[in-house]
Structure 1
């Protein structure tokens, strides 16, 4: 049976799910996405990836500032949807919105709940050194990612994964779960599984200060820190320059043997002493410049052996 689906989402991660649902034979009757934002050097107004795809597919789009408005709730109810599929929408839905579709709202979340509830589960999983994560579709409740699990897929975190590479694998795995979920929903064969009360962690948003590299940490911890923040927002440190400190993003690094004062440059290959072990810097991006490999970075920005990074 074909379902009437409302889709709510914003970034590329969500757009892939919208494409899959639209191709699965269900009727996507309306899309909600975040309002257009001014971006780039010209500060031109840009629609979200979900908004752009919905227009290509010919699906009506709404971009409310908030779902707290009764007018917005009434509009959602008027769509007479069977279900809402929610993927990285970026807004908290009140209970009235959760109750509006016939079967409620289902959310695709990029972790194995209850671990990493919240805004940044992909980054947090890598930063914490996790070796396994996954994608789950849950029945939404008023609490933050607290609802029962309807479908789950596990995904290994590889030793060289960055937030970007893991994001893409989880995006594809999650998108392909929608067809099975919606088909099972239409047959009445979904079996909700309550989340465990143990092992709850929260994936809070990444702050700029938190992204700064603390060289007193171990090299293995910093390797995870760097990969989890690559490419955005990017782990960073400061390098002394002629006109003052220069901010540098570190996009890839590997833990190696070495010792010295934390932050000290140990050799000409940009190996930096850490609290335990050392970190060889592999890919960097100087503020205002493009990303480059360490050898290319050093041609334009020499770093002396013995220098101290901040």
Structure 2
């Protein structure tokens, strides 16, 4: 059972469930048949807690079917099939799985299956209005932000990139035509974001709290109308989908702290160095990926003056920012494997045809 490996810290603020077995008399006539839409680790945490609750309360939940994306071909010559985390979990627990990649696929389920409630967590596809209308109780969503702040697909990333002091989780109804515009059913307290938090730790932290909120919502039947939405003063903002350019460092505008938080949010950041032709003219920009960064406020041994300038000290690469420095012990140059700085530096003349002792990092350039 997944419950045994989930760590929930009460002081983080959410109202937790002290026990999973229900003693409350239900106003629902029959146990719920749930269609659970999910994909990633965040959605898996809610599914695990919901499955534990069902096992102890079969009078509340009759069945949970998992609806997720199709397996994708991967690897050399696309010979392997890769599944999403929730697909692996559902198979390991012998759950009923349906694969749905489009709205049409979802509508097809309503023709062959009967459900009372839909729960969508990090699914990425808008559940069609026609499907929601086929359900006795509509749908619910677990969203990792304090809505209406950070509606959209990337709330955890935006909270980290903006260096927010706290985040939270919201359980809302599923709107028939728009993402994150449903009625707020339940909301956690403000959950502190620590200096050491990154996407992985926040996903786990908020995922556990969201799972408890979801069970609380089912336990107390908070999804039944009329819904008494809690009031808050959070302004509406959009956390739109991350693009490939989101991780690029703008050295002339970005502080050391902002670069570190960008890394925390996305797992890696990138910049560019120039490669030259044999005649010494600019040939192309090569991407450089950084995975491990530390903020350095000051260092007497460094003489860099302009953002993007770099020096090597004690096996680490130091790069100037607009307010200080960052350092990294390794990097990955385009077309090359990840390397430590002592491995990378001697290979610069051959790879970049550069005679400069220290690299200059910059935004993307073309001829």
TM-score range, shorter chain: 0.7 to 0.9
- Give the distance between the partners of 1:190 and 1:53, measured in 2 at CA: 34
Per the alignment, residue 198 of structure 2 pairs with 162
Q: Go from structure 1 to structure 2 and tell me whether the alpha carbon gap of 1:167 and 1:283 turns closer, same or farther (over 3 Å shift).
A: farther
**123-132 vs 167-176, which moves further:** 167-176
2:38 maps to which residue?
Answer: 9
Conservation of the 8 A alpha-carbon contact between 2:167 and 2:193: yes
Q: Does 1:179 align with 2:215?
A: yes
Query: Over aligned residues, Cα RMSD in angstroms?
Result: 2.9
1:28/1:41 Cα in 2 relative to 1: closer, same or farther (>3 Å)?
A: farther
1:256 aligns to 2:296 (yes or no): yes
Per the alignment, residue 22 of structure 1 pairs with: 51
Whole-angstrom distance in 1 between the partners of 2:227 and 2:37 = 23
Deviation at 1:89, TM superposition (A): 0.8
Cross-structure match for 1:293: none
Residues 143 and 196 (structure 1 numbering): CA distance in 2 closer, same or farther, change over 3 Å? Answer: farther
Query: What pairs up with 1:264-275 in 2 under 5 angstroms?
Result: 264-268=309-313, 269-275=316-322
TM-score, scaled to structure 1: 0.85
Who is 2:160 aligned against? Answer: 126
- Specify which of 82, 89, 99 is matched with residue 123 of structure 2: 89
Q: Who is 1:67 aligned against?
A: 103
**Number of positions where the alignment pairs a residue of Structure 1 with one of Structure 2:** 300
Q: 1:46 offset after TM fit, Å?
A: 2.1
Q: Indicate which of 174, 198, 217 corresponds to 1:140.
A: 174
User: Structure 2 matches for 1:198-209, cutoff 5 A?
Assistant: 199-209=235-245
1:222 aligns with 2:259: yes
- Native 8 Å contact 1:9 1:50 kept in 2: yes
Give 1:128 shift: 1.3
Do the aligned partners of residues 306 and 289 (structure 1) sit closer, same or farther apart at CA in structure 2, a change above 3 Å counting? closer
Alignment deviations for residues 151-183 of structure 1 (CA, whole Å, 9 cap, x no partner): 222322111222122122222222232221111
1:276 corresponds in structure 2 to 323
> What is the CA–CA distance in structure 1 between the aligned matches of 2:178 and 2:232, rounded to whole Å?
14
Does the CA contact (< 8 Å) of 2:148 and 2:235 recur in 1? yes
What is the TM-score when the length of structure 2 is the normalising length? 0.73
| Distance (Å, rounded) in 2 between the aligned partners of 1:186 and 1:253 | 44
What's the CA shift string for 1:86-116, capped at 9, x where partnerless? Answer: 1111111221122222111100111111111
The residue that corresponds to 2:186 in the other structure is 151
Structure 2: stretches of 5+ with no match in the other structure: 1-25, 55-60, 278-283, 299-303, 347-355, 363-367
- Given candidates 34, 38, 53, the residue that maps to 2:69 is 34
Q: Greater CA deviation, 79-88 or 117-126?
A: 79-88
Contact 2:217 2:223 in 1 (8 A): no
User: Which segment is superposed worse, 130-139 or 148-157?
Assistant: 148-157
Larger radius of gyration: 2
For 1:307, the equivalent position in structure 2 comes to 359
Pair 160,173 (structure 1): closer, same or farther in 2 beyond 3 Å: same
- Other structure's SS at 2:257 match: helix
Gaps of 5+ in 1: 291-295
The Cα shift of 1:238 comes to 2.6
Moved more, 183-192 or 107-116: 183-192
Aligned residues of 1:129 and 1:224 also touching (Cα < 8 A): yes
Comparing 139-148 with 259-268, greater Cα deviation is found at 259-268
User: Please, which moves more after superposition, 79-88 or 111-120?
Assistant: 79-88
* d(CA) in 1 for partners of 2:228, 2:294: 41
